[in-house]
Amino acid sequence: MSWHPVPDRAAARTLGDALRRIGYTEDAVIDLLGEEAYAITRDDVPVGERRLPESRLATVVRALFLQQPVPTADVTHALGRAAVEALEATGMAAAGDEVTLHGRIVPVGDLFVASDDFPGEDAEKDAPDFVAAYTPTSKLCDALTPRGPVDRALDIGTGSGVQAMLSARHAREVVATDVNPRALAFAELNAALNGFTNIDCRLGSLFEPVAGETFDVITANAPFVVSPENRFAYRDGGLEADQFSELIVREAAGHLSDDGYATLLVSWVAENEDESEARPFDWTEGSECDAWILPIYALDPLDHAVRWNVHLAGQPEAFGQVLDRWTSYLEELGVEVVTEGAILLHRRSGDTNTARVDVVDDDLIDHAGNQIKRAFEARARLAELADPGDLLDERVSLAGIVRLERELDAESGLPTETGAIVQIAEGMNLGVEAQPRLLEVAESLDGDDSVGGVIDATTERLGLSGAHAKRLRREALELVRELLELGAARFA
Run means of pLDDT, 10 residues per run, the chain, 492 residues: 87 97 96 90 87 95 95 97 97 94 93 81 61 87 96 96 96 96 96 97 96 97 86 76 94 96 96 90 94 95 92 88 93 94 93 92 93 96 92 95 88 79 93 92 94 95 93 96 96 94
Cβ(466)–Cβ(459) under 8 Å?
no
Question: Which stretches does DSSP call E strand in 358-491?
Answer: 395-398, 402-409, 416-424, 431-434, 446-450, 489-491
- Structural domain contains residue 446: yes
- Structural domain contains residue 308: no
pLDDT value of residue 20: 96
CA dist., res. 263 & res. 252, Å (int): 9
User: How far from 482 is each of 65, 159, 343, 474, 477, CA to CA, in Å?
Assistant: 44, 37, 19, 12, 9
Give the domain range for residue 90. 9-102
pLDDT value of residue 126: 56
Q: How many CA atoms lie within 13 A of 83 on its CB side?
A: 21
Cβ(382)–Cβ(484) under 8 Å?
yes
Cβ(346)–Cβ(290) under 8 Å?
yes
User: CB atoms < 10 A from the CB of 421, how many?
Assistant: 15
Looking at the fold, whether 150 and 89 belong to one and the same domain comes out as no
Cβ(42)–Cβ(121) under 8 Å?
yes
Cβ(290)–Cβ(379) under 8 Å?
yes
Paired residues of 105 in beta bridges = 114
* Structural domain count of the chain: 3
Looking at the fold, whether 140 and 255 belong to one and the same domain comes out as yes
Looking at the fold, whether 152 and 294 belong to one and the same domain comes out as yes
Looking at the fold, whether 60 and 192 belong to one and the same domain comes out as no
CA dist., res. 451 & res. 423, Å (int): 20
Which residue, 185, 192, 47, 198, is CA-closest to 103?
Answer: 185
- Structural domain contains residue 3: no
Query: Residue 461 carries which side chain, given as an amino acid letter?
Result: R
Task: Give the alpha-carbon dihedral of 435, 438, 439, 444, to 10 degrees.
Answer: 180
User: CB atoms < 10 A from the CB of 227, how many?
Assistant: 25
- Structural domain contains residue 92: yes
Helix H or strand E encompassing 68: none
User: Pairing relation of β-strands 489-491 and 98-101?
Assistant: unpaired
Looking at the fold, whether 272 and 350 belong to one and the same domain comes out as yes
Cβ(354)–Cβ(291) under 8 Å?
yes
Looking at the fold, whether 361 and 421 belong to one and the same domain comes out as no
Cβ(191)–Cβ(161) under 8 Å?
yes
Phi and psi dihedrals of 192, rounded to 5? Answer: -70, -40
Q: Which distant-in-sequence residues (6+ apart) come within 8 Å of 387 by Cβ?
A: none
pTM > 0.85: yes or no: yes
Looking at the fold, whether 452 and 479 belong to one and the same domain comes out as yes
- Structural domain contains residue 142: yes
Number of residues that make up the chain: 492
Helix 81-89 to helix 9-22 angle (10° resolution) is: 140
Query: Residue 393 carries which side chain, given as an amino acid letter?
Result: D
Looking at the fold, whether 288 and 146 belong to one and the same domain comes out as yes
- Structural domain contains residue 379: no
Looking at the fold, whether 90 and 62 belong to one and the same domain comes out as yes
Which residue, 341, 484, 370, 369, is CA-closest to 422?
Answer: 484
Q: How many CA atoms lie within 13 A of 61 on its CB side?
A: 27
Looking at the fold, whether 98 and 221 belong to one and the same domain comes out as no
Q: b/e for 357-393, b at 16 or more Cβ within 10 A?
A: eeebebeebeebbbbbbbbbbbbbebeeeeeeeebbe
Q: What is the CATH number of the domain that holds 254?
A: 3.40.50.150
User: CB atoms < 10 A from the CB of 26, how many?
Assistant: 16
DSSP labels, 14-43: HHHHHHHHHT--HHHHHHHH-TTGGG--GG
Looking at the fold, whether 146 and 221 belong to one and the same domain comes out as yes
- Structural domain contains residue 331: no
Looking at the fold, whether 359 and 405 belong to one and the same domain comes out as no
**Listed residues 67, 87, 102: the one ending a domain:** 102
- Structural domain contains residue 328: no
